[in-house]
Structure 1
Amino acid sequence: EGARGVGGLRARGGPTWGLGAGGGMGIERPPRQSPALSLSRALAAVRGPCSAGKRLREKGGLAAPLLERRPENLPGQCGPRPGEIPKEEGTCFRFLCFAGKEITLLMQTLNTLSTPEEKLAALCKKYAELLEEHRNSQKQMKLLQKKQSQLVQEKDHLRGEHSKAVLARSKLESLCRELQRHNRSLKEEGVQRAREEEEKRKEVTSHFQVTLNDIQLQMEQHNERNSKLRQENMELAERLKKLIEQYELREEVRRPARPTPPPGPLPFPSQDRADVPTCLSPLR
């Protein structure tokens, strides 16, 4: 009679157990009620939603409101396929069915016990297991939330890096296009300069060839002139030689034979200019 009762079982999305007012497990037994009666009422309260949901689904009473609330029945929206229950209601139904199965197994376990104390001990043990499981789930959820926040931060960081990379890529593409245009202009300018230089080289080559041809022609003309002058000089020299020979022959013919003077001193040359032979006079 002095033990604390078990109660406080609420059907708010599933079976939950709370701590008593004194800090112990369970809730104090309501006055003027046996533990078995309060336990039966609490379990019935928990099992009620699941059983009602099953009956509604079997009879089709829950399908009509859900079909009316489907997104595809609204204008301009698309939703689940025909005959498919929405995700939220399906999750609720699965949770209620799972809770109903757990409660059924718990009731079967409690029915095997004989005394209320053993049933209370089994309920306390089950509550402790569920509480430990809930704490582990909370810890795991916190770890997952922390990991999720880290992943979100990493995702934001990667998104920022991606945006920077895209911006840098666009800048590099613009620079590449500018460099291509510059290279194209330089190439065209180089081709134009090469064409101009080739034309200048051809002009200089043609001018040099013309000048060389003129020089060769002038040299040939000078050679011909020199050969002509040489031939004329040879002819003139030959004519001069003949004239000299003729003059010498003529002088020999004109010169008279002179007697040999007697021996003795030569007289002083006091003869006139007319006595000098004409052959010794200077040529005019």
Structure 2
Amino acid sequence: MPRSSITVFTVASAIALAQAASAADLGQPAPAAPPPPAAPVYNWTGFYGGLNAGVGWSANGVNTAGSTLYTNSAHSDSLANATVSALGATANIPASTTSFIGGGQIGYNYQINPWVAGLEVDFAGFAQNSQTNMVQVLTPIPGIGTNSSQDTATRKLDYLGTVRGRLGYLVTPALLLYGTGGLAYGDPSLTTDVFQARTPRPFGNVPWGTANSSSVQAGWALGAGAEWMFMPHWSARVEYLHYDLGTVSNDFSISHYNAHGALIFVNNVQSRAQFDGDVIRVGVNYHFD
């Protein structure tokens, strides 16, 4: 076969093979696209634990009230002195506080779509939840002079703990809106001090007294929040709580003796402070399967 014929045959064969391959490719289906990634599954059932931080505040003050227990009828000015002393020991002392609060929580959730119920225990400490204030009460004593009373109170709460139930609704599989309420406890303390002086200053002692009460008290807490599970095991939350630990009271007496040691009067002073307040905080939780 001549060389030119071989060349023509070779080129023709190559073209034919290429056309056959192209036809075969057109006859086959295109490769399938990869499947989309699976949507994350959010499981709220199980134990969790985490940390929280925020701000707590209370707008309450301290109320003091003086009352006469004893007057010496042998001294003509005994009743007048006792009366103005009791008036001077009666005051409303502001003691509002605002403080950073931080701590941790553990809990358990049970999910029945679209509801989530659970129980949570938390404990948090206040960075600075103590306030001391003084008021000065000037009371005239007819025919004698003026009584000056310095009434001082310190209201303090170092920590707050709660044991609360939670009930929430899943707006989306990852977003929970909930209400919460239950037991609250803390360590409220109240210190009250009354110091009195007269102008002109009489002979004898200066009426003065102080008392402190401190103990762990239980009350209640109620609030609401929102929690977002941004990863299958992690959630972030914002929460508001109002707590009420009841009242703390102090009772003490102040007395006045003259220069000869005779008792002129004895007055009782009672102080009371309400320990309730509000907390707004954010937190993060890790959920265990």
Shorter-chain TM-score tier: under 0.3
> Which structure features the higher share of helix residues?
1
> Which structure features the higher share of strand residues?
2
- RCO comparison, higher one (Cα < 8 Å, 6+): 2
**Please, what TM-score do these two structures have when normalized by structure 2?**
0.19
